[in-house]
Structure 1
Amino acid sequence: MHHQYRLGIDAGGTFTDFILADRDGGVRIFKTLSTTQNPTQAIRNGLALIEEETGISPTTLVSNADLCINGTTVALNALITHTGAKTGLIATSGHEDSIEIRLGHKEDGYRYDPDYPPATMLVPRYLRCGVRERVLSSGSVHTPLNEDDVRAACRHFLAHDVKSVAISFVWSVLHPAHELRAAAIVREIMPGVQITIGSQLYPQVREYTRTSTAVVNAYLAPILGRYVAAVDAYFQDLGARQPVRYFQSNGGLALSAVVAEKPVYAINSGPASAPRAALYLGESYGLKDIITVDMGGTSFDITLTCGGEANIAKDIDFLRYRIGVPMIQVETLGAGGGSIGWIDAMGLLQMGPQSAGSVPGPACYGKGGDKPTTTDANLVLGYLNPGGLVGGRLPLDVEKARAAITTHLAAPLGISVEKAAYGMFTIVNNNMVNAIRRVSVERGYDPRDFVLNCAGGATGAHITALAREMGINRILVSKLASGLCAFGQIISDVRYNYMAPIAARLEGATTAKRLNDTFKQLEAQGHADLAADQFGPERISIRRSLDMRYVGQVHECTVNVDPFDIDEAALERLKAAFHGRHKELYTYAEPQSPVEVVNIESAVSGAMDRPARMTIAPGQGAHAALLGTRQMIFDASGVAQDTLVYEGARLGAGDVVMGPAVIQEVTTTIVLEPGWVAELDRHGVYVLILGQHVAQHNKALIPA
């Protein structure tokens, strides 16, 4: 009975989610509170909870699992709270301050704000050591490496108890020998320290980005190294037959050795699995253009897939640090169930980004919180079950919610508590819609062409209101929505990125050969790495991307292409792809202008087996799941109406619920505003359609 289970673990800021899948398509979700001080404790607690509910002991589960996957916020939390390792930087003399100069301006959105403070430096000035060496943009050596400078830096670092060292020299990607020699000296003098070499971690042209990426990686390496060692040891003690896989920000799985060495790839690993889950849900309907929104207790994360590919961003400022390596583009804002409502200096109602978190939590939790939050507003509007959340294990106090909204918002604004609650609901939704526009409209996509996919425990109450605001008329809500990222992990593939710098105009047979040969080398390395991880060639797939620009442009844009042999004639295909992408992003192209390539990259994936799909029995009609009615408010008048409430666990495949209504699942609540219709399909997904589109939907979508 080997390989009976697959386990996905997603550690979030408030909850850690566990998804347990078995061979027969049984999928179950479990939640436990995250333990940020001791991340492995939440895993132990979760496995104990699974044993309590299923009778399967941790040893039986892990020793019979084909895969245990961990998506972790350990790196993310260390970056947010600035609790990484003490890090030193060895840079080309005169370039020690590139991470502080930051290309000469603040991040987008704050460029002209004189009061916006500078970012906290991960490497303080006294731990940034310049060494004499210089490589020119041609790749030739102008000044040889001064090895004594490197030794002096090591002695300085030892005196200050530095635990991790980043090495990043100017133009090192064209001539890595100096960085490699410096690393050898550091290893010799500081044997216990972790080393990050810029030209190996991020072999791309752009000195500031490469140095900043190397520094972030070095800052996180000791912490993530300790974490994966602890998790690996714990699972080995339980009899794991397969190594634990870790989820990366690029949307793929990796072995612990890779994550420990390149933790910068695991920073945003939690929400990065959402696109994979979304595509899996959409598969039955042939849907490939999906926006996923995930609202938890603290934050709201948005991801987008177009044509079956997730939006990948690279060279971005993440938490104020420039990171070059490719990450699934996740737009995050402080809008969760715990977001606090307040009145600004203009007398206007605002929501967040401050959050009540899980301690003390929203006022209605009755744990001492007295600030009005999103959850309190949803309770006053009638959307949440006053009997409590998580199957009644978390009771809610309506009176405390009303009191908090009255005291802080309704009374000062001179409006009713109901109107204030609907105002809070509307403002939170508007904040979320603005963020959705950032991943869609601002990247050349029209949200009305997409389906909205609901993830996270708190999203269901807002999902139809968000769709209405965006002009989207179709929504997917899985029964597993509140643990969708953990589910995304157990159906993901292994994925590694390989990069090289190539600065050349897209002209001539020489450039074509150079591009072709370099891509082939990168992909051969990918094949070798995946073969070592037991993947046959038939399970390996490749996606290429090139950073290109018009000659004379300052910034390049990334163009994704399928692999093909590049000869001189094929350069025209690359140019055409670039003109097309440039037009999508900036509304114009210049087909007559010469094009140059700056960097190239291959993403190499190894396909994993998928567990069987969840199936649910046919329903007896929605009336069989009716629990009764509740007073709910659906517009700014603040007037409540009697609204039907259904129990999700009693609905079966084919059952249809007409809005206005609420469907109460164990770990989420789905609010259907007037005009929406929900149908549960046999794979446990609610398909929500806006009234006037139901007829077309039924014609166009017969589930596979």
Structure 2
Amino acid sequence: MTYRLGIDSGGTFTDFVLAGDGTVEVHKTPSTPSDPSQAVRDGLELVAREHDTDVSGLLDEIDIIIHGTTVATNALIEHTGAKTGLICTAGHEDSLEIRLGHKEDGHRYDMNYPMAEMLVPRHLRMPVRGRVLSDGSEYAHLNEDDVYEAVERFREEGVDAVAVSLVWSFENPAHEERIRAILDEELPDVFTSFSTDVLPQVREYTRTSTTVVNAYVKPTLDRYVARVDAYLDENGFSGEIRYIQANGGIASSDSLRRRPAYAINSGPAGGPAAGLHLARTFGSEDVITVDMGGTSFDVSLTRDGSTEVRKDFDLMRYRMGLPMLHVETIGAGGGSIASLDRGVLQVGPQSAGAEPGPACYDRGGTRPTVTDALMVLGYLNQEELLGGRMPIDSDASTRAIEEHIASASQLDVETAAAGILEIVTKNMVDGIRQVSIEKGHDPRDFTMVCGGGAGPAHATALADELGVGRVLVPKTASVLCAYGEVVSNYKHNQLASYPSRIEAVDAADLEGRFAALEAEARERLATEGIAADDVELQRVFEMRYRNQIKECEVTMPAVEITEEWLATLREAFDRRHEELYTYAEPETPVDVINIESVAYGHVTPPEISGGLPTEGSVEDARAGSREAYFESEGGFAETPVYDGARIPAGSELVGPAIVEETTTTMVVNPGWRARLDDAGVYELTVED
């Protein structure tokens, strides 16, 4: 038997999904923030024990491992990346600090709001003379003395990485290529990042910032990938290791090492793939996917099978130009801490994380969290979680809420706990509105897929707030992103600039530019084992009306570009502009700014069945009952509790009800009905 293994590193747990022969297994192990690779080793040992073998024996049965890692993201958040230098065109040393005069939303008029911490300090931003013009011609030769001066400065300062971003280099890379040769010779042990490799598109600040971020996280990611690869090699792994990228596709270690910025914010990128894969089995390609873990709440929207992609935006206060799935993240997880701010109850964004965790975990945590509120209100098992592997101290939850919330606000513990859940629900609803209502989408038109270890406990409450009528909760909910990695396709984005008025575009020239981008993408996919017949290409155009500031993207099929086809592109742009901004100007000239080739390498996802009981009834799975709080019921009500492992396929149950799976708990609110399908997915619908 051969398996596909998905590994997703989260803030609280590292998740493992082992899929093969129609079955899927779910495993979780606590994350190890000090050394994330240790959690990978711990998890593989855990899975091996479950299979009554050692790690080497387990790896012999695995064909491919797909891994989502947070090390690059954490390096940027915690400012623990490499000591980085920058070589830039003389006169542009301060573009990173000027930031186009931009201040983050919400702080535009706050004069006391601090500047973002510079990833490259001023004395390590080294100017070089020499100039390429916008048409690619060389105005002034590269001054190599400046390059060698920068090399000496970097050597003296002990930098670990160097970013190189020269003005208009994407039109003529000769100067950057010469700097590459010098750095390879003079600083062979230093990691390098070149704008012509990372983001060969117009916009000097965005391109430079993205190239610097790429350099900043490169050594951290490279060391992590090397450790994971070495561990797998030591244990005889002969299969393929792949990594999930922020664009939602998977790629080889070599591809990710080349552009490690694609690993930033890649952790949540598996969620939309999982949501779409699950929703398609129920006939829907319009999906809102939510994933509530221990630390954060991630939400994305997929319309007609396509998840929105963002470019040229600020991520953790640093401008990024690479295409990334639009996954909105807020600080609302099971470990989010509840507190009083001048008497006002708030939840998050601070989290208890994996260590010490919620108070009920009995690992030293004393602050009340969302998980503790769930415990007090009777939604969670009062004695154990994770199928008995995690003993629980439910009294600790009561003490934490009493001490920090209830006594100070003159509330009883249960009312305080209900208030915590009400606030975190509102916070999550606001996050969903950001990707739906604020983008012109009505959430009632979508199927909601709910994942994360904490998510299913909130699924029907969120749907009630939004008016969503159907929610899908897979048995693999607690490992949704790892599941998404298992069913993800390969994906590579090849970027270029092509500034031209659409009426002046040479169709043959534009076709040639795309052909070159697509040839590179096909070659990369071929090295990753993707056959030519399994490659799908799309072409993306960033376009705008003349004199507009912002572009909007138009995605088109990869067909031969002709003069007639360019008229079709123009019409598609007008339609897209009207969709986004409610108006179009067919008589206004249109400019093409950037182009992009998106190459998908399609893989056949494993056939996954639920491995569910086929005999008995849902009543046979009833494990008892307990008092649980439902506002619509006027408070606490005796609520049936079901053992998810014993519920037969095709079973239905009516809320209020609680279903305890090994790694998550699903709460079915009054007025909802749940049906378990053959693949192990609960379909929750509002009762007629």
TM-score, normalised relative to structure 2: 0.97
Which residue of 664, 670, 674 maps to 2:666? Answer: 670
Task: Give 1:39 deviation, angstroms.
Answer: 2.1
Structure 2 segments unaligned to the other structure (5+ residues): none
In the TM superposition, residue 324 of structure 1 has moved relative to its aligned partner by 0.7
Is the counterpart of residue 504 in structure 1 residue 500 in structure 2? Answer: yes
Aligned equivalents of 1:566, 1:56: Cα separation in 2: 56
- Measured on the aligned residues, the alpha-carbon RMSD in Å equals 1.5
- Bigger mean CA deviation after superposition, 52-61 or 457-466: 52-61
Asked if 1:372 corresponds to 2:368, the answer is yes
**Is 1:386 aligned to residue 386 of structure 2?**
no
**Partner residue in 1 for 2:5:** 7
Per-residue deviation, residues 400-437 of structure 1 (Å, max 9, x unmatched) = 22222222222222222222111110110111111111
Of 615, 620, 640, 2:616 maps to 620
**2:279/2:449 contact within 8 Å kept:** no
- 1:438: which partner in 2? 434
Q: Alignment partner for residue 152 of structure 1, among 145, 149, 154?
A: 149
- Count of residue correspondences: 687
Displacement, 1:637? 8.7
For residues 361 and 654 of structure 1, the distance between their equivalents in structure 2, rounded to whole angstroms, comes to: 36
Distance 2:560 2:539 in 1: 12
Offset of residue 203 of structure 1: 0.9
**Corresponding residue for residue 82 of structure 2:** 85
Alignment of 1:291-690 (within 5 A): 291-345=288-342, 347-508=343-504, 510-615=505-610, 616-635=612-631, 639-690=635-686
Range that drifts further, 683-692 or 112-121: 112-121
Alpha-carbon deviation of 1:169? 0.9
Give 1:651's aligned amino acid: I
Residue in structure 2 matched with residue 249 of structure 1 by the alignment: 246
CA distance in 2, matches of 1:336, 1:144: 55
- Please tell me the residue identity of whatever aligns with 1:290: V
CA shift, 1:442, in A, is: 2.3
Separation (CA, whole Å) in 2 of partners of 1:265 and 1:600: 18
Q: CA deviation at 1:619?
A: 4.8
Separation of aligned partners in 2, 1:213 and 1:392? 46
Q: 1:176-325 residue pairs with structure 2 within 5 A?
A: 176-325=173-322
Deviations 1:340-382 (A, max 9, x none): 112223x321111111222222222233322221111111111
Q: Is the 8 A contact 2:11 2:354 kept in 1?
A: no
Instruction: Report the AA paired with residue 549 of structure 1.
Output: R
Residues in 2 aligned to 1:92 and 1:521: alpha-carbon distance in whole angstroms: 28
Aligned partner of 2:547: which letter? G
Partners of 1:417 and 1:481 lie apart in 2 by 29
Q: Please state how far the C-alpha of 1:443 moved relative to its aligned partner.
A: 2.4
Q: Which of 54, 57, 60 pairs up with 1:57?
A: 54
1:64 CA drift (Å): 2.7
CA separation in 2, counterparts of 1:85 and 1:174?
29
Which residue of structure 2 lines up, in the alignment, with residue 47 of structure 1?
A: 44
How many percent of aligned residue pairs carry the same amino acid?
A: 52
Contact 1:299 / 1:335 at 8 angstroms: preserved in 2?
A: yes
C-alpha displacement of 1:115: 2.9
Distance 1:530 1:368 in 2: 48
Query: Counterpart of 2:125 in structure 1: which amino acid?
Result: R
- How many Å separate the matches in 2 of 1:191 and 1:120? 28
Contact 2:297 2:331 in 1 (8 A): yes
Contact 2:6–2:66, Cα closer than 8 Å, also in 1: yes
- SS of match in other structure, 1:391: helix
Bigger shift: residues 179-188 or 658-667: 179-188
User: Partners in 2 of 1:392 and 1:532 — Cα distance?
Assistant: 44
**Distance apart, 1:675 and its partner CA:** 0.4
* Greater mean alpha carbon deviation, residues 672-681 or residues 605-614: 605-614
SS of the aligned residue for 1:566 comes to coil
The 2-side partners of 1:532 and 1:382 are apart by 53
Letter in 2 for 1:587: T
Amino acid corresponding to residue 515 of structure 1 in structure 2: L
Q: What are the ranges of 5 or more consecutive residues in structure 1 without an aligned counterpart? A: 693-704
Per-residue deviation at 1:585? Answer: 1.9
Q: Which residue identity lines up with residue 181 of structure 1 in the other structure?
A: R
Offset of 1:620 from its aligned partner? 2.4
Over residues 254-288 of structure 1, what are the superposed CA-to-partner deviations in whole Å (9 max), with x where a residue is unaligned? 11111112100111222101111112112222211
How far, CA to CA, are the matches of 1:287 and 1:662 in structure 2?
26
Q: Which amino acid aligns with 2:190?
A: V
Which segments of structure 1 move beyond 3 Å, counting only runs of 4 or more?
none
